[in-house]
Amino acid sequence: YALFWATDEADPNRIVESWLDQHAFKGLERWQGNLRFVIYTLAANLACTPPTPTGELLWGDRIVLKDLCRAQGQQAVSAGEAVLLGLHWQATAELTTRYKVSVQLLNERNLVVEQHDGEPVGGSRPTDTWQRAELIVDNHGIVVPIGTPPGTYRLIVALYDANTGERLSITDDGSPTGRDFFDAGSVRVVLPERPLPAALVPVQYSLNRPMGPLRLVGYSLHRQGFAHAPLTPIAPGDPVEFTLVWQAPAPLPETWPTTTTVTLSLGTEEIHFAPAGEGYPLAQWSPGELVRYQVVLPYDGGDIRPRLQVENDEFILQPLPIR
């Protein structure tokens, strides 16, 4: 864990942070007032191999991914821990454009569970500083959000223009792949050894409200793809992503159901779903367990107050930020 404060005066050359960026895996980063809290992980037993059986991957026409470094076998992490991914880059020619790396953890519905975006090596080696054939060791730590249901998740990597957001296309052994991202393997998420406190869950709106047999700890809502800027205005037709965090009672009552249905309404749009989807029914939940679930609804331009219902309990969510 690192706490950075007044670094312009205390470490103007970023000696400490640059060393951490180059040798550790940067994960969660949060500001609290003028303090910056960062989680770094020092890794062991990572295996570095070419990204494909044919070897390197070419991104655009000047950036090569030479190696991918991951834990041997299928990586298993619990919620709150970091997925570690090392990327070894090289430029085949001088670069004048600054690109960002996006590493994303996706669920079975291809929704982004968590992502880490930034310029390479923790921001200390922008692509326009790379020398031809120089090996750039770029480490990423993706912290699995607290409450993420156990299961298998995908890890993908993309490179995009820092100014326009346009992604680079990928070529494998001289042939275009037709993709602008690379599938970096799978991650197995397991339950933590003991339930984590609800106070650790980062949500836009904290509630701790009973809803049917569950407790709604809190929720977040934003235009899809804008979790980093949740107040981005939403226009008619935009998809709205909702993240709901539930908690099971402890102990579980004798009347604990095997399933229940959640209804989420937004204007004329409505969706019905199990609290954590069909893949993680209530029968598998543990006492006091926190469970996070994401759903998407389009905004039809009407009512801006979403409604959430579980059995006979109904709650009106905060209004959407509209244009």
> What does each of the 323 residues of the chain score in pLDDT, given as a tens digit?
677 776 676 677 767 777 777 777 766 666 667 777 777 777 767 899 999 998 999 999 999 999 999 987 667 898 888 899 999 999 999 999 999 999 999 999 999 999 989 999 988 999 999 999 999 999 998 989 999 999 999 999 999 999 999 999 999 999 999 999 999 999 999 998 887 788 878 899 999 999 999 999 999 999 999 998 999 999 999 999 999 999 999 999 999 999 999 999 999 999 999 999 999 999 999 999 999 999 999 999 999 999 999 999 999 999 999 97
* Beta pairing, strands 75-78 & 182-190: parallel
Is residue 76 located within the same domain as residue 34? yes
> Is 321 within a domain?
no
The pTM of this model reads 0.86
Q: Which of 190, 221, 247 is the last residue of a domain?
A: 190
Is residue 175 located within the same domain as residue 84? yes
pLDDT of residue 18: 75
Q: What angle do CA 121, 123, 124 make, to 5 degrees?
A: 70
> Is 322 within a domain?
no
End-to-end CA distance of the chain: 39
Q: Which of 190, 206, 223 is the last residue of a domain?
A: 190
pLDDT of residue 6: 60
> Is 310 within a domain?
yes
Token pair of 119, please? Answer: 């310029």
Pick the closest to residue 95 from 47, 61, 135, 118 (CA basis): 61
Token pair of 16, please? Answer: 């400490």
The 10 Å Cβ neighbour count of residue 32 is 8
Q: Distance of alpha carbon 168 from its chain centroid, rounded?
A: 20
Assign residue 208 the CATH number of its domain. Answer: 2.60.40
pLDDT of residue 28: 64
The domain total for the chain is 2
Q: Which of 143, 167, 190 is the last residue of a domain?
A: 190
Residue 285: give the domain boundaries: 198-316
Token pair of 131, please? Answer: 């020398």
| CA distance linking residue 5 with residue 1, whole number of Å | 13
Token pair 């993709």 is found at: 179
Single-letter amino acid, residue 34: N
| CA distance linking residue 60 with residue 294, whole number of Å | 33
pLDDT of residue 305: 98
Q: Distance of alpha carbon 107 from its chain centroid, rounded?
A: 10
Is residue 150 located within the same domain as residue 294? no
| CA distance linking residue 146 with residue 82, whole number of Å | 11
Is residue 260 located within the same domain as residue 135? no
Is residue 66 located within the same domain as residue 202? no
